[in-house]
Amino acid sequence: MDLVYGHPKSLKPIQTKYCPGCGHGVIHRMISEVIDEMGIQAKSIITNPVGCSIWADLYFDFDSVQPAHGRTPAAATGIKRMLPDHLVICYQGDGDLAAIGTAEMIHAANRGEKFTTIFVNNAIYGMTGGQMAPTTLIGQYATTSPLGRDPEGAGMGYPIKVCELLSSLTGTKYLARGSVNNPVNIKKTKKYIKTAFEAQMRGEGFTMVEILSQCPTNWKMSSVESIGWMEQNMLTFYPLGELKNTLSKEGGQG
């Protein structure tokens, strides 16, 4: 009997620590499947900082580095420059990447550093208690915005669209936004990840795949409710698809 579907070799067969309904596990699987398909498990390195991302090295069966909070792009820069033939992944959440790590991320992108960022956007701080993140939507509740994010009256500012922010930088070659809300979008997101990884291995420049993900625990919802909320709110504010693709013809179609 032919094996149609199995456990990725690049993903350890262990029980997850993530909350029920969290999207991180699905994202881990997509990354692992792409690495297996590309045959580069032995040459893959993930950098995962503070936040829910910090658990990633428990699950991936390849090398990992845990940088300080927000400093992942700096660590990835050094690793990739020393090991240019390796796949180097920045695995970051929205608080880490778009708050404490904003400067690191923007300048790495502007320099065209040749690693790939997997940016998990669940519009809230996950591990640290559900505080408002830079990506939290207007009116969305959080522990630091108990009445909902108010950009003007309470001076909380507006949600940041990271891919759109980076799209003006010449060093960025591929920026895409996917989601894990249903099988169709999961399949598309995996294609974006593979396009970004292949571009990195060709040395084409900075690549990022933003992935919209649910956080039922800090959204104070059931797993099913969180999917509905994401579809009604996040997917309308953060459009899915390839936002920038200036890759060579060899890899431009994904």
Nearest CA among 69, 80, 99, 106 for reference residue 197: 80
In a domain, 51, yes or no: yes
Q: Is there a domain that residue 10 lies in?
A: no
Taking the C-alpha atoms of residue 101 and residue 113, their distance in angstroms, rounded to an integer, is 16
Average pLDDT over residues 53-70: 92
What distance in Å separates the CA atoms of residue 128 and residue 226, rounded to the nearest whole number?
Answer: 19
**What is the rounded CA–CA span in Å between residue 45 and residue 62?**
6
pLDDT value for 2: 77
- Has residue 92 been placed in a domain? yes
Q: What percent of the chain clears pLDDT 90, i.e. is strictly above it? A: 85
Q: How many domains does the chain have?
A: 1
Is 161's pLDDT higher than 70?
Answer: yes
Asked if residue 18 is part of any domain, the answer here is no
Say if residue 254's pLDDT is above 70: no
CATH classification of the domain holding 60: 3.40.50.970
State pTM to two decimals.
Answer: 0.94
Q: Is pLDDT of 251 > 70? A: no
In a domain, 5, yes or no: no
What residue numbers bound the domain in which 117 lies? Answer: 24-245
The tokens describing 165, both together, are 């922010």
Is residue 15 in some structural domain? no
Average pLDDT over residues 228-248: 96
Flag whether 14 is in a domain: no
90 assigned to some structural domain:
yes
